[in-house]
Structure formats: C-alpha cells, structure tokens
Structure 1
Amino acid sequence: MFSSGHFRASVAALAFSAQLLLTGCGAGSEAQPQIPLTSFNEVLYLTDQQNSALRFDNGAVYHAGGVRGLIVVRQNASTYLAFERTCTYNSADTCARVKFTPFVQIYDPCCKSQFNFQGQVQGGPANLPLRRYATSLSGNTLTITN
C-alpha cells in the first residue's frame, strides 16, 4: 500500500513527465505544427515527356499527392525518392511549400530552409528533414504511396 507522501511524489513525477512530452526536450525547443498524414497511391510513368527530368541522376519533378504535392527525385536508374512539398518548418503556414532548383537543391522560399536531394536539411530554420514517402519501381512505372 502507498503512503500519501509516496502517492503525491508519484503523481508529481507523472505530471512532470507529461509536461516534458508536451513541451519538448531542452531549453528553447519550440513545438512545430505537424504535417497532417494523408493516404494516397500515385503512379508516374517515367516515359512520359512531363517526367523527362527523371531520366538523369538528381533530376526532379513535381507531382500530385501528399498534402501539398510531391517532389520526386531520381537518385540513380533504380532508386527514386518522393518527398512531401510541405516544409517541415512552420508547416501550417500557407506559404510553407518547398520548390526545387534543378540538379541543385530543394528550398522553401518563405522561410529560406534548404534541403538536399535526399531530403536532409542543409540550411535555414528547419531542423527536420522533408517527409519521405515510399516508392516502388516496376519497369518504367514508379508508384508512390503513403
């Protein structure tokens, strides 16, 4: 059986733990709005002229899907990555939509965050990588799902 002092200490420890979970770790950490989850199944035909940039390593195209669209990047002839266009910094902001400079980088013109073609942060205020979606290649057909 718990004594009343032990019970109060347990409740206080539980409340402190819950507060840490809600506010994040470390001094100065700020909670960022989460990118909503969405279910989709998109198909790209690599032979279509609109996807011609995907014939080259680090080539990229925009495509429908996700929350604010997708950026699809060719790593090599057998590996393609698909990223959410919603920037991971202030994702609730209406202008938090990443773009790409062909063969150079992915960036958010609003907050100035920069990402490489693997979705990792290269600069700016963002500290989380871009959300990556699953890709599957079968012949000249690329399927992107979440």
Structure 2
Amino acid sequence: MNWLSSSRTLLAVIAAAGVGLCTGCGSNSEAQPQIPLAAFNEVLNLTDQQNSNLRFDNGAVYHTGGVRGLIVVRQNASTYLAFERTCTYNSADTCARVKFVQFAQIFDPCCKSQFNFQGQVQGGPANLPLRRYSTSLSGNILTITN
C-alpha cells in the first residue's frame, strides 16, 4: 500500500470515528451553532462624546468589531468588559443580536434571552454566556482584541 492510499484509509477511519462519537451529541438538548471567530483590534477613546455612557458604572455602548458588533460595559473606573453582540442561542439566526438596556441588562429581542452586565445568562433559552473579548486600559484609551 502506498502512502496516498494509507492517508486516505486513515482519513476514512478518523471520519468514521468522528461520526460515531457524535451520534449521541445533542440528544437531550438542541445543538447550538458556534459563533465564528473574528480577528479584530478596536480602540475606544473614553473621552469621546460617543462613549459618554462609559463614564458611569454599568454604562454601556455599542462599538464595531467582532461578528455582529460589540457591547462595551464599564464595571468600574478601571474595569471594562466587551461582549460579542451575537446571541449564544441560535447564533446563526439573522436576528440573534443582543441589545442593552442601560443600567439593567443585555437581551436578545428575538429569542428573549437575557444576560447580566458580566455576560452571564439570566433567563431565556440561552445556556451559554456571551462571548467576552479581551480589554486593556491605558489612560483614556480602551483597546479591545480577539
């Protein structure tokens, strides 16, 4: 047997094993599509008027980046969190895009899932937290990366 046919045989075995391993996947719960990864590096100047909500604890703003945009939340003067706006429940659905209610929660008006300002599920059908991105604060400049 040459190396090409050996490689094909090995790939067929791996594929069959993968199918066998996933036969029971999602048998008790609905399978959730994965949110695609998006590479980005966004910079927010916290002194800009468009970011004025980030001058208060639990203030939030929308920003570009990620798959369907970002929600940036101020926890306190030195801690900011950035979340993907794609809801973790039925993320492939075109309306699966979370919004924020100022000083209250983040929610998906499509599936009615609710998340707190730490990205954790508070209600609705979602069972996974919002995707969180890395943040770094230097003076008045907040950098968000994936």
TM-score bracket, normalised by the shorter chain, equals 0.7 to 0.9
The question of 1:57 aligning with 2:65 is answered no
**CA distance in structure 2 between the aligned counterparts of 1:46 and 1:107, rounded to whole angstroms:** 24
User: RMSD value over aligned CA atoms?
Assistant: 1.7
Off by >6 Å, runs of 4+ in structure 1: none
1:26-74 Cα distance to aligned partner (Å, 9 max, x none): x512210100001000000000000000000000000000000000000
**CA distance in structure 2 between the aligned counterparts of 1:65 and 1:22, rounded to whole angstroms:** 36
**What code does the residue aligned with 1:114 have?**
Q
TM-score by length of 2: 0.85
**Partner SS for 1:144:** strand
**CA distance in structure 2 between the aligned counterparts of 1:95 and 1:120, rounded to whole angstroms:** 20
Q: What residue in structure 2 maps to residue 80 of structure 1?
A: 80
Task: Show structure 1 runs of 5+ residues with no match.
Answer: 1-10
TM-score by length of 1: 0.85
The question of 1:132 aligning with 2:132 is answered yes
Identical pairs, percent: 83
**What code does the residue aligned with 1:87 have?**
C
Q: What residue in structure 2 maps to residue 108 of structure 1?
A: 108
Q: What residue in structure 2 maps to residue 31 of structure 1?
A: 31
